[in-house]
Amino acid sequence: MLSKLIGYEFKSTRRIFLPAFGVLLLLSLANSIFIALPEPTLDHVSAPFGVLMTVYVLAMFAVYVLAFAYMINRFYKNLLGDEGYLMFTLPARPSQLIWAKCITSTIWMVVTVILCCISLFLLATPALLSASFEPEIAFSDFWHLIQYIFSELMREYGANLFVVPLELIAIGIAGIINFCMHIYACLSLGSLANKHRLGFAFLAYLGFGVAQEILLFAGSWIVDLTGLNLDFNLTLNTAAQMHIALLGWLLFTIVCIAVNFVITNYILSRHLNLQ
């Protein structure tokens, strides 16, 4: 049932996201064409180029806002609004409804980040190639520079050069999932109020943020007080410390995901209050 719910979410949202992504990539290509023009020609079209670049920046900002707004609107409207009367009649548990929203939102956010990076690369490609009058030479020099940097990093960090990015990617994805679940938990808490639901959800968001900062401060204070940090530095090398820190960060994020999910699932299962 979860796969069917995720498929339904994608069918309902791709008609919005795919055109937005297409426009962003087209704007990036259009700006890269302007950048590739010779300088005398570019001076004559500087005004249209400036307008097009401004539109591109606004479009990139808009796709991020779109992903964020989708995450909030789909959850609030489908599960906490009038549509909830229909959604909760489906043969699916509240946990499945929650994860369907969260997984779909996470995928769209990851795709948004990837496409924005691709668009920036397309935008920068003419500038990289224009470093020389002969593009083949410029590209060759650029490729040799990449190879040199990679070999130096391999010599310095070895296998950690591949492990650390994988850990950072895992932390990034877990962070997006936690962000979605955190918003869902706040919206669910806000739904317990009969009026001003979004206002109470915002207060819940602030309360969670303060509680998290207090826990992090208390944890670091305990580590400093007990001297665990000193022993940690003396017994482990730099690479091991880095891996433990990243894995600890990942574990903390997973715990936050679990807490936010339990709060959301409990409210939707036991104290559902639809508008």
Q: Is the pTM of this model over 0.85?
A: no
240-271 pLDDT, tens digit each: 777 788 888 889 889 989 999 999 999 888 87
275 or 176, higher pLDDT = 176
- Average pLDDT value for residue range 108-133: 78
Residue 160 CA to residue 153 CA, distance in Å, equals: 9
Residue 188 CA to residue 251 CA, distance in Å, equals: 24
pLDDT confidence bin for 51, thresholds 50/70/90? confident
164-179 pLDDT, tens digit each: 788 889 999 999 999 9
pLDDT confidence bin for 238, thresholds 50/70/90? low
Q: Which amino acid makes up residue 234?
A: L
pLDDT at 142 over 90: no
- Give every CB contact of residue 113 below 8 A, 6+ residues apart in sequence: none
pLDDT confidence bin for 69, thresholds 50/70/90? confident
Radius of gyration of the chain (CA): 24
Residue 39 CA to residue 27 CA, distance in Å, equals: 20
pLDDT confidence bin for 34, thresholds 50/70/90? confident
5 or 174, higher pLDDT = 174
Residue 168 CA to residue 160 CA, distance in Å, equals: 12
Q: Which amino acid makes up residue 123?
A: L
Q: Which of 42-56, 231-245, 255-269 has the highest mean pLDDT?
A: 255-269
Burial of 129 (0-12, 13-18, 19+ CB in 10 A): middle
**Sign of the alpha-carbon torsion through 105, 107, 108, 109:** positive
pLDDT confidence bin for 158, thresholds 50/70/90? low
